[in-house]
Chains A and B, each alone.
Chain A
Amino acid sequence: MNNDIPVQALGGQGEVMAHAVDACVHCGFCLPACPTYALLGDEMDSPRGRIVLMKEVLEGGLPLADAAPHLDRCLGCQACVTACPSGVPYGELITAFRGWSEPQRQRSALDRSKRWAILKALPAPRLFSVAARVGQFAKPLAPVLPAALRGPLDLLPESVPAMQPSAKVTPARGMQRGRVAFLVGCAQQALAPNFNAATLRVLARNGIEVVIPDGQGCCGAAALHTGARDEALKLVRANLNAFNPDDFDAILSNAAGCGAGLKEYPMVLHGEPDETRAKAFAAKVMDISEYLNTLLQNGELEPPVPASRPLTVAYHDACHLAHAQGVRAAPRALLRHIPGVSVLEVPEGDLCCGSAGTYNLEQPDLAGQLGARKAKNILSTTPDLIASGNIGCHTQIQSHVRRQGSPTPVLHTIEILDRAYRGEL
């Protein structure tokens, strides 16, 4: 798409944005992939429409405030990226745009404090854990709270588990095959500590030594995708200092959102001195399922204990795994590798569950509609278990599946593998 975006004035991120706009041929192939287009049926809330809006704002032909409501509704799910044959890097465009535009936004006091609280709590697991507990006490108040605050409360699990700090080094069991660094994640430590515990057990069982480097922190994705670029840059640089890619075979994450965030570092630092370091770092980043699948493909994965009875698993593609990272086959292959387990495909599988970072807080209504639709689609396959590879999807799906009256367990892919290894499946 032709444009007069003043790239010079915008710097490295300007190049990123102009390149994406250039690449779009406005064919509309992405429309049917977009969850907000599916719900609202108008062009402004479609990927093609949003690209035009961003172009207009960047060119100075449209006030940011006019475009903002439509851009805010974007989940950042990147389903449009998978659908786009022209290779438009829409994810990079919206991320860079949010970073560029946030300082110019006029937000209400409630909005600002909400965002502040999220950005402070998410990267600090302890704080998040406390906040989540406070939130639980607030749950009975939900009906009288403003809608903007109700969304997040709805999502809190019934009980918030105790924090379980992980060992700095988890040695390989048996013959050592590899050595990896692990990003422990933030909110996930508070909400689902077993994800990490299971990850460490499964890696150790496969002869992989796992190091949790000091000084690591939040991946920065939440800050980045809500436009808090300065905040995000601090987190990105801290991680670049904490992880030395030369020391490890891979840098692993078991949260799709964080993994996608880590892989974005070169884009974030495009045109800046740290870009080369960011590239070396990102080249080593893998989702846990990708890494284990390479072992599987090399015939090196320890065989899991067969399930005690035939089990069907509905696998949910997290957007940040399937669309942002292009990881679809690996988790399915791992699940299928467990004798007795079969994998079910979910109707409308490519449609986001509506959790997407802070979406439940910002757009509770659309998030709720998408969550309900996802739960309905998953339950239509009548699975024994539900699997996903992302904490955000996990909480969203669990909450909506329960709301629809189903007790079906929702697990991380790696938890299922861990159970299989322990003979508990």
Chain B
Amino acid sequence: MSTEKLALTTNSSARKPASAGGASNALAADLTRALGPRKVLSNLSERLNYRYDAIQFGATPLAVVLPESTEDVVVAVRAARAAGVPIVGRGAASGLSGGAAPLEPGLVISFTRMTRLTIHPERREATAQAGVVTLAVTEAARPHGLIYPPDPASFRTSTIGGNLAENAGGPMCFKYGVSGDYVRALEFVDAAGEVHRLTRDVFDLAGLLIGSEGTLGLITEATLRLIPPPRFTRTLMAHFPEVGACAEAVSRAIAAGAVPSKLEFMDRACTNAVEDYLHLGLPRDAEAVLLVDTDGEDLDTVQDELRLVEDACVASGGTVRRAATDEEGAQLWRARRSVSPALGRIRPQRMNEDIVVPRSALPDVVREIRALGDASPLRLVQFGHIGDGNLHPNILFDPRTEDAHAVHDLAHRIALVAIRHGGVLSGEHGIGSMKRDFMTDAVDPGTMQALRGVKRALDPSGALNPGKILPAEGVDG
């Protein structure tokens, strides 16, 4: 990420919509004629609200469409194509890599009103339109004795379309896998406005769309796999006087054969930010807190597994507390899900990393990152799905008083720690525009050419979410 792009997150430069003029009016007028006024937003007050996600502000769109059906999406895509403007898909805009924030003025298609959801218990499947809120799938499936496991911390807000576009993970993904693992079929609209229905046999084209961040097509509907919930779940919290010890406990537990369903970590600053919000009595003085669930069909096995984790924590110098009731367990998980936004209490803005490293390297990596933070005047915090080796080091800053160069520099050094230990740049939040420029560090030129080839095949004119994932042509030489 360049410093200009950091400046962009402070939004002023890209904010003012130079034009409510010619083309935009024509586009909005065309769309309104075709779709009716309810589904098209063209006022400035409306368009201003479709230029950001949870990390970044971008350019104000020329028009916004709120489709209610796949046909509406087709109409919108064709209108944008005729007007020659780019198209950005948007779910709940809870993304953390700038994906839904347009880099140039164009059309935003916001899926929040495409919320049709059908459960097919006999097939253990759900059919969900793109705008269905993630948690709603499990809520609808539960009466049938089924759940939808992918559970990003944003699951009360984020949409199935956004989750699939980012291939979102969550605490459950250590044992149960990420969003993409639950897709049986996808319906999408391509850059030309054609509708396609993909299954996962023959070529796994659905897999190609998953994680493509709206750059290859617009997902309109998905058929999702459901599973019966585990009969028993047990939760424990352990806290440690040092961050590396927490990572050691994780490696120990897994080496001992435990396969917990969730293994999450947060450092002291995170715990305190959440405690300020929820007042649960979390250990404010601990340098690291580990949250663990074990689950399964047989209570004895679940308890045994919890004991393995408990022993590993104690052996690494941790203090363990088991959740006495389901409610207490639920509270602890609510605490974990609130970490990311609760950090807003410390500084108004943050640079959010999403690295993944081999589990064996975890203790060294969290210690090295902690040391980078301690040596910097900036506030650095860490949390993440530590069971997967997925860490979210966050640099918290106030752009009015803190130097954007220093933020960028620290972010870069953290990325290098990950790469040095054999890790990658994004576990689940996507590349978007935030991490686009790091792509050349992580992907070799030949692979980059292949990625560009795929993009050209599906989106020859580059209309779909331009400026995301792939660095500008020529940068990769």
Contact = CB atoms under 8 A, between A and B. Distances in A.
Interface of A: 1-2, 4, 22-29, 31-32, 41-44, 49, 52-53, 56, 61-62, 66-67, 70, 84-88
Given A2-B399, A28-B92, A53-B45, A85 B52 contact: no
25 contacts: A2-B10, A2-B11, A4-B12, A22-B348, A25-B348, A27-B94, A28-B54, A28-B92, A28-B94, A29-B156, A41-B112, A42-B41, A42-B66, A43-B49, A43-B50, A43-B110, A52-B52, A53-B45, A53-B48, A56-B45, A61-B16, A85-B277, A85-B342, A87-B277, A87-B342
Chain B residues touching A, majority SS: mixed
A146 B44 CA distance: 30
Contacts of B156: 29, 32
B251 interface: no
Contacts of A49: 49
Interface string B18-55: 00000000000000000000000101111011101110
Interface in B252-275: 273-274
Given A32-B133, A67-B45, A86-B343, 5 more contacts: A27-B157, A27-B341, A41-B112, A42-B112, A52-B52
Interface residues of B, number: 46
A-B pairs, top 8 by smallest CB distance, nearest first, are: A86-B344, A25-B344, A66-B45, A85-B342, A85-B341, A85-B338, A43-B49, A27-B341
Contacts of B41: 42, 44
A52 B44 contact: no
Interface of B: 9-12, 15-16, 41, 43-46, 48-50, 52-54, 66, 92-94, 110, 112-113, 115, 133, 154, 156-158, 273-274, 276-277, 338, 340-345, 348-350, 399-400
Contacts of B54: 25-28
A278 B54 CA distance: 36
Nearest to A69: B45
A41 B112 CA distance: 6
A52 B341 contact: no
A149 B156 CA distance: 37
A56 B49 CA distance: 10
Contacts of B348: 1-2, 22-23, 25
A44 B45 contact: yes
Contact of A41 (B15, B48, B66): B66
Contacts, number: 111
B349 A2 contact: yes
B269 to A, nearest CB: 14
Contact of B48 (A4, A27, A32, A52): A52
B333 to A, nearest CB: 14
A44 B46 contact: yes
Nearest to A49: B49
B357 to A, nearest CB: 25
A141 to B, nearest CB: 32
B399 A86 contact: no
A299 to B, nearest CB: 24
B10 A27 contact: no
A23 B273 CA distance: 13
Given A43-B110, A61-B16, A87-B276, A27 B44 contact: no
B93 A23 contact: no
Contacts of A4: 12
